[in-house]
Amino acid sequence: MPDTTALKSTDAPAAAVDAPPVTDSGPAPGKPRSLWSDAWHDLRRNPLFLISMVLILLLVVMAIFPSLFTSASPRDADLAKHYLQHPNWGHFFAPDWLGYDGQGRSIYARLIYGARASIMVGVVVTIAVTVLGLIIGMIAGYFGGWIDTILSRVTDIFFGVPFIVGAMVILTSFEQRSVWVVILSLSFLGWTQIARVARGSVITIKQADYVVAAKALGASTTRILTRHILPNAIAPVIVVATIALGGYIAAEATLSFLGIGLAEPTVSWGIDVSAASAQLRNAPYVLIIPSVMVSITVLSFLMFGDAVRNALDPKMR
């Protein structure tokens, strides 16, 4: 008589082998985050970035839609009625809230409309110097040799010119100094730092394996620069550009204060600071209010640039 107990014990392992194994592998791993997604993840939790973004958005809306903040005109002047009239702190956002200047114009209205020139100069100059510096730096860093030598020496020549002094020399040669003249003069001298940063990044990235593989596969120089090198070299350039944006706004205010930058009838904070310097003892608020606005604007962009730098630089985390 066969031993059924032995047969059962022998068949049991076979059944266990045929059954699919049950394992608890947990949730499927997600897609790895890129540098930009990591940076955005950090920026959303950075109070410095959130505060600066709120201030910058307010300034941008103020520059684009000034009529949302005041119905008064920044050029309406009434010397007989409003000459150096003191601020009326109880009338929030009214034309007389921050007082009137030496020409009887509303300081609050000029403060709102003056944001347009400052923001426009800062943003357009930043875009111009970023594009120009990025092109020069990428060409110098990628090709090397005599091309790198020539472009680097040209960059050194421009870098040796004092920024404000050079802009003063350029602007004094123009009779009509509009916003675009100031933008061109600042852009002509402000690209050197970005070119140096872009050149260093490209020199490092062009030795990477994916760039060498693209060259081996016969990819064109334009494709390698735009598809492989530019996306990986632009992060430090963005950091430098965002920090420099506040400096360009301060440069415009400085040139306008010296009487070499923007001029009437353009509404600018630098022009108001320059005109108010004569009333410093009699009405210091005429000088302090636009000066504080320039400081807040520059500080907002500097904080934004610092937050972006900390998010994009792994060493700063």
| 116-156: pLDDT as tens digits | 998 999 999 999 999 999 999 999 999 989 999 999 999 99
Does position 251 have pLDDT exceeding 80, yes or no?
A: yes
Does position 316 have pLDDT exceeding 60, yes or no?
A: no
Does position 11 have pLDDT exceeding 60, yes or no?
A: no
Residue with tokens 């050194």: 156
Q: Which positions ≥6 away from 194 have C-beta within 8 Å? A: 129, 130, 132, 133, 134, 137, 237, 240, 241, 244
| 171-229: pLDDT as tens digits | 988 888 888 999 999 999 999 999 999 999 999 898 888 888 988 888 888 899 888 89
Q: Which positions ≥6 away from 68 have C-beta within 8 Å? A: 61, 62
Global confidence as pTM: 0.82
Query: In this predicted structure, what is the pLDDT of residue 16?
Result: 42
Backbone φ, ψ for residue 98 (5° rounding): -105, 10
Has domain 38-62+103-316 been given CATH number 1.10.3720.10? yes
Does position 43 have pLDDT exceeding 60, yes or no?
A: yes
| 65-121: pLDDT as tens digits | 998 998 888 888 888 788 888 888 877 888 788 888 888 899 999 999 999 998 999
Query: In this predicted structure, what is the pLDDT of residue 152?
Result: 92
Q: Which of 46, 120, 37, 45 is closest to 304 using CA atoms?
A: 46
pLDDT band of residue 241 (cuts 50, 70, 90) is very high
Q: Which positions ≥6 away from 229 have C-beta within 8 Å? A: 138, 142, 202, 205, 206, 211
Residue with tokens 């010397």: 79
Q: Which of 143, 144, 128, 136 is closest to 198 using CA atoms?
A: 136
Query: In this predicted structure, what is the pLDDT of residue 2?
Result: 45
